[in-house]
Amino acid sequence: MPFRIERNDITKVHTEAIVNTANPWPTIGSGTDAAVYTAAGVELLLEERKKIGIIERGQAAYTPAFRLLATNGIRYIIHTVGIKWKGGHKGEIEIIRNCYRNSLRIAKELNCKSISIPLLATGNYGFPKETVLNIALDEISQFLFENEMEVVLVVYDKESFKVSNKLFDGVQSFINENYIGKKKDINNGSEIKAFFLDGASYRRRHKEEELSEEPIIAAEEAELESLPERESPEKEITPIQSISIDDFVSQNKGGLNFQELLRKHILDKGLDNPTVYKRSIIIDKKLFSKIINGHIPNKHSVMALGLALELSLEEYETFLATANYALNPAEMFDIIVKYCVTNKIYDVMQVDSLLFQKDLPCFNE
């Protein structure tokens, strides 16, 4: 896969190159730098690093990975030097951009098929994690649009990875209003299915849940009692006529199948095939060719293509339907993607960052 987020120690990943947050001078720093030297072999790496000399801030240089080649298959260590955060008005942001840009450039020059990069300058240099995350996603996205390489964004733990508070809160609010999930009966701890009809009823029903002595199921039954009585089950009821996805699309969208609708969206939006599959991140040229010629990919691939096409929610749901898929209100992954489509967040990497923050599989997993 071209891009993924991985929670790991960067010295334990399995890519051809890793990026080290280095000291400008050929000395061993702290944190990641110290860990890289230890894993690669202190004396071997330090001797090679001395040959490079001073690395200017924002620049990068590489050395062999020494012992990391035998242990993890890592061939190169790309050393890049960041800068301390000073409020964002002293050129720091452009320097960190250059760190990512130059590291990726060197990996390309070395003909690497894969590279792992951490969130740079968020330790001792004090860069806001949200700022660095946005820089990293932007630079990696631009690089992958023009180059083929597997790029792994490595974070040490969940606390070191932070999306925008505003965005995160917006997602959580959307989940509360749209997610069909499992809740626990607060009396006996057993799981029951709670179907949230809308955000207002959810908040009303659970506003004082922690203080209530009545189980959730009782609250649900009380709410149901206020609804009009249903007719007796013994009375004959005319069944609701079902309709297949294919029939629905045929009746409402002129009978276009998945491939036809894909081509139509590409044409209508003035795009071309490479732009679409590169935006999707998880689909390469070979797979896209198969899709155009009749192959129906898995649901996540169709969802990623829908994001790449920047469809409205109605267009997105119809696009999924032509491939016999649908957004599932019981799946947190689908709810978060629906939020992103609704709010025109189409960058698959940005969506992946939200999924990762929620401890969910990303598109590429």
b/e sequence 44-83, b meaning 16+ C-beta within 10 Å: ebeebbeeeeebebbbbbbbebbbbeeebebbbbbbbbbb
Measured CA to CA in angstroms, residue 293 lies from 90, 256, 262 at distances of 51, 14, 11
> 33, 268, 334, 347: which is the annotated catalytic residue?
33
> Of 296, 342, 344, 294, whose CA–CA distance to 321 is shortest?
296
Which residues, 6 or more positions from 46, have their beta carbon under 8 angstroms from its beta carbon?
A: 26, 28, 37
> Of 203, 210, 169, whose CA–CA distance to 358 is shortest?
169
Going 9 to 158 to 84 to 115, the CA torsion angle's sign is positive
33 catalytically annotated: yes
Beta bridge partners of 181: 194
Q: Is 358 helix (H, G, I), strand (E, B) or coil?
A: coil
Which positions are annotated as active-site residues?
A: 33
